[in-house]
Amino acid sequence: MYEEKSEYGKQECSETAASLYWEEIIKPKIKEQKIVVINSDNVKRFFGEDYDETRRVCSRAAFLLFEQAVKEVPYELVLFTAGGAGSGKSEFVVNELLRENVHAIVYDSTFCAYEGAK
């Protein structure tokens, strides 16, 4: 999916990745009224690519997915989780929401880059 590209090329890859992930993963969750969790690691795993090579593309795709979800997903609850890798964000927050069957959009990120955090 990814080769060394200009910023425009990376943006184009991110948009394509976001579109595919939306159709295959997020739309079915909305239809089933399940929690929508968006994070770059999930996007990366979906495509099975090496994280070091696709990190920026997957991070940008996750942000694009979040923007689309806020506009199109009919859930009132939107949560942000931010913290270091392995800090338990997903394990604690997401698993608790799943147990409680909460309808929410969760943007799970480390917010390590200024662009994504703003």
The answer to whether 47 touches 25, Cβ cutoff 8 Å, is no
CA angle 34, 36, 9 (to 5 degrees): 145
Residue 39 domain flag = yes
Residue 49 domain flag = yes
CA-to-CA dists, residue 14 to 5, 31, 63, angstroms? 12, 24, 9
- Where is pLDDT greater, at 25 or 47? 25
What pLDDT score does 71 carry?
Answer: 95
Q: What pLDDT digit, counting tens, does each position of 48-68 carry?
A: 766 556 778 888 899 999 999
Q: Which domain holds residue 67?
A: 7-117
Instruction: State the pTM of this model.
Output: 0.79
Residue 26 domain flag = yes
Number of domains in the chain: 1
Q: What pLDDT digit, counting tens, does each position of 77-101 carry?
A: 998 888 777 777 777 877 888 888 8
Residue 81 domain flag = yes
What pLDDT score does 50 carry?
Answer: 63
Q: What pLDDT digit, counting tens, does each position of 11-37 carry?
A: 788 899 999 999 999 999 999 999 999
Residue 2 domain flag = no
Residue 1 domain flag = no
Can you tell me the distance from the alpha carbon of 55 to that of 32, in angstroms, rounded to the nearest whole number?
A: 29
